[in-house]
Structure 1
Amino acid sequence: MLEFSAGYADPSIDGTEEDIGLGQLPTGNIADTFRIWGAGLRYELSDTLALGVIIDEPYGADILYASSAPLLSGTAATVDSHAITGFARYKFNENISAHGGIVYQSVSADVTLRGAAYGGLSGYNAAFSNDSAVGYMIGAAYEIPQIALRVALTYHSEIDHKMDTLETPPGASAITSTTEVTTPETIAVSFQSGIAADTLLFGSLRFSHYSATSVSPVGLRTITTNPEASLTDLENAWNAELGVGRRFNEKWAGSLSVGWEQKGEDDLVSPLGATNGATFVSVGASYQATETIKISGGIRYTDFGAALPSTSGAQRGTFDGNSAVSAGLKVQISF
């Protein structure tokens, strides 16, 4: 089977800064629209063994604070990533299978800290050159085909990157170094089961070890005289989704699901990630165009949790009532 996918998201993430004598000025929308692409190939070598490859973009960011926000004006971050996963699945019998593979991941980033909230650090920039590294994934699944039951457990390892870094501190010479950055390990459980004729219950639960991700270049640690200074402030998080799918006829099927992302224990967050938890609802549909071609699409509305951007432990603004609308399209070709 060959698969192509595309996604589009339009986030609206804005807030107000703390009053420094000019009133609570608006930040404007700090998040830009973005698109993601993916592809996959799976080939059944036999009744028991299948091989495949998945291409996707696991992480990303595009943040910019407008000039109307003096505390954080010009603060920006971009993150780009790509991953290629080669995997194999082996079926021991009708009910039990195992899967695993190698993940080749590349990441690059650029961060600028600017505005009165950063004090003497305002104007700092760090450019992280693209780096590629290897991790792995492994898992198992249990199935009962007669009732469309499938439960799968999958673990993705941490991936350790060594990124060539160019830091430009305010009023000082540029610093070149290598920054070690770890993308997080995740563990996920997904399930589906028939609950009535042509009706399917599905869901997932995932844990992401985000706290292991620290971006701590040598120049930042030197300027702040803090050996643990980091451009990130991430907490571990759980995500869950639960939904129902329904086949209407031989051509058409639809689905409805709701989801949740855990809110962090601390309301204070990095200005580079001004959300804290989320809930969402998704509506999807699929069309079996021919015996070998299936087209699927969906729309999701996400409501982000309130967040309080901070620097040096002090609140710098309030972000509340933010949301995003996203859409995706997938084409599957069987052979």
Structure 2
Amino acid sequence: MKKILTTLGAVALGAGAAHAGGIDRSGQSTSILFEKGNYFEFSFSRVSPSVSGVGAGTAVSLATPTPLQASGDMAGNYNQISGGLKYQFNDRISAALIVDQPFGADVNYPAGTTYFARGSTASISTMAMTGLLKYRTATNLSVYGGMKYQTMSAKAKVPFLGGTSGIPYKGEASRDAGVGYVIGAAYEKPEIALRVALIYSSKVKHKFSVTESSVLSVGADASSTTEVDTPQSLNLEFQSGVAKDTLLFGSIRWVDWSNFKIAPAVYGNSLLAGAPLVSYPNDTITYSLGVGRKLNDNWAVSASAGYEKADGGFSANLGPTDGKKSLTLAAVYTRDNMKITGGVSYIKIGDALTTLTKDTEPTAANTASSFTKNHAVGVGVKIGYSF
């Protein structure tokens, strides 16, 4: 019973994370460290967002260039993969290697519309490898930590920044690698499946070689160096048995998005007088709470809800979302040393306003578009094996 209930908690903590605030995708959980004995897992998920809006205003102006014109769905579908290996050296010491895609973005405004951002595209991709070492005391208190190696690349094309010239802004950051660290502590009481864990993940510094072209650099691409720090974060994860065959679980995740920005030289200094290509005005706190139930020796199910507060103000044209609510259903089948988890998440994406000015407070005169009634669906499977 304890094994299958613990599995439900570990699986559901990360469910729905693939469309959280900023460009957060994996949730950066370290729950694999708490699997029994030696253990290997691999997971795959597919996320299908639908994000569209309409140009604001009633008359054409520099701030409202396409009133009442539909943007079309600008959020591309994407896959997430992750895997991990945990090895138990003895009763006190264990280690884990985790591979995931912690951050990402896929933007693709349809070209065949009359919306001002038509044809704009952007992508951010990351891959991280984290090595962790854990020590568990005789009092069930654990401390752990390790290093993270992360790669990141990004590119964007924004036609509307070329005005009437027909020359779009283009920028591409070549793949770069950076190093960060992870530290954590946990308390467990196995007889009631209780675990409370606190995990800190540091920021990771990247120094990109960036190539840009725009209406201001016709005939010669501009090359520069741009520094980007993926954000630090703090996860509080918990679970506890609350009745026979029943587990309560949840998490609180804080991410330091207010200090994240991508600001290439040409885009910021020449086109928008210092404005970054990607930035977020506020940090995000994402909450998750759920319940799991063992049905028999092979099957268990869970349901969980997630919430991320909307901040208001303006969102970026390349990321027109603000807050979310989610519902995740999962089932685990366990047989011998193998367990297979399947799940589906529905995410209601918060409404957002965008602007083409530097204003931070929305008004009728400075709002370029309104994005409402958007959502995402994610499905995934995880295969785990104990040995």
Unaligned runs of 5+ in 1: none
Q: Whole-Å Cα distance in 1 between the matches of residues 341 and 350 of structure 2?
A: 29
Q: Whole-Å Cα distance in 1 between the matches of residues 138 and 222 of structure 2?
A: 57
Amino acid at match of 2:171: A
- Verify: 1:201 aligned to 2:248, yes or no: yes
Q: 1:306 matched to which residue of 2?
A: 351
Q: 1:92 matched to which residue of 2?
A: 137
Contact 2:161 2:168 in 1 (8 A): no
Q: Whole-Å Cα distance in 2 between the matches of residues 121 and 60 of structure 1?
A: 29
Q: Secondary structure at the match of 2:268?
A: helix
- Verify: 1:280 aligned to 2:326, yes or no: yes
1:256 is aligned, of 282, 292, 303, to 303
Residue 59 to residue 260, structure 1, CA distance change in 2 (3 Å): same
Q: Secondary structure at the match of 1:211?
A: helix
1:26 is aligned, of 70, 91, 104, to 70
Amino acid at match of 1:37: I
- Bigger proportion of residues as helix: 2
Contact 2:161 2:271 in 1 (8 A): no
Contact 1:103 1:137 in 2 (8 A): yes
Deviations 1:45-98 (A, max 9, x none): 000000110000111111111231331112211111100001111101242001
Q: Secondary structure at the match of 2:269?
A: helix
Residue 231 to residue 183, structure 1, CA distance change in 2 (3 Å): same
Moved more, 18-27 or 75-84: 18-27
Amino acid at match of 2:382: K
Q: 1:108 matched to which residue of 2?
A: 153
TM norm structure 1: 0.95
Moved more, 20-29 or 214-223: 20-29
Q: CA RMSD in A?
A: 1.7
1:322 is aligned, of 374, 378, 383, to 374
List 4+ stretches of structure 1 deviating above 6 A: 116-122
Q: Secondary structure at the match of 1:135?
A: strand
Q: Secondary structure at the match of 1:126?
A: strand
Higher normalized contact order (CA 8 Å, seq sep 6+, divided by chain length)? 2
Q: Whole-Å Cα distance in 2 between the matches of residues 295 and 282 of structure 1?
A: 16
Q: Secondary structure at the match of 1:268?
A: coil
Q: Secondary structure at the match of 1:222?
A: helix
Q: Whole-Å Cα distance in 2 between the matches of residues 77 and 41 of structure 1?
A: 33
Percent identity at matched positions? 35
Q: 1:133 matched to which residue of 2?
A: 178
Q: Whole-Å Cα distance in 1 between the matches of residues 351 and 256 of structure 2?
A: 22
Deviation at residue 231 of structure 1 after TM alignment: 0.8
Deviation at residue 181 of structure 1 after TM alignment: 0.2
1:55 is aligned, of 89, 99, 114, to 99
Q: 2:215 matched to which residue of 1?
A: 170
Q: 2:46 matched to which residue of 1?
A: 8
Deviations 1:237-277 (A, max 9, x none): 0000000000011100000000011212x431101111100
Q: How does 1:160-239 map to 2 (within 5 A)?
A: 160-172=205-217, 173-224=220-271, 226=273, 228-234=274-280, 235-239=282-286
Q: Secondary structure at the match of 2:152?
A: strand
Q: Secondary structure at the match of 1:315?
A: coil
Q: Secondary structure at the match of 2:267?
A: helix
How many residues matched? 332
Residue 129 to residue 117, structure 1, CA distance change in 2 (3 Å): closer
Unaligned runs of 5+ in 2: 1-38, 61-65, 360-365
Contact 2:94 2:133 in 1 (8 A): yes
Contact 2:324 2:347 in 1 (8 A): yes
Deviation at residue 220 of structure 1 after TM alignment: 2.0
Contact 1:270 1:311 in 2 (8 A): no
Deviations 1:211-231 (A, max 9, x none): 1111111222331473x4201
Q: 1:38 matched to which residue of 2?
A: 82
Amino acid at match of 1:10: S
Q: Whole-Å Cα distance in 1 between the matches of residues 346 and 232 of structure 2?
A: 27
Q: 2:201 matched to which residue of 1?
A: 156
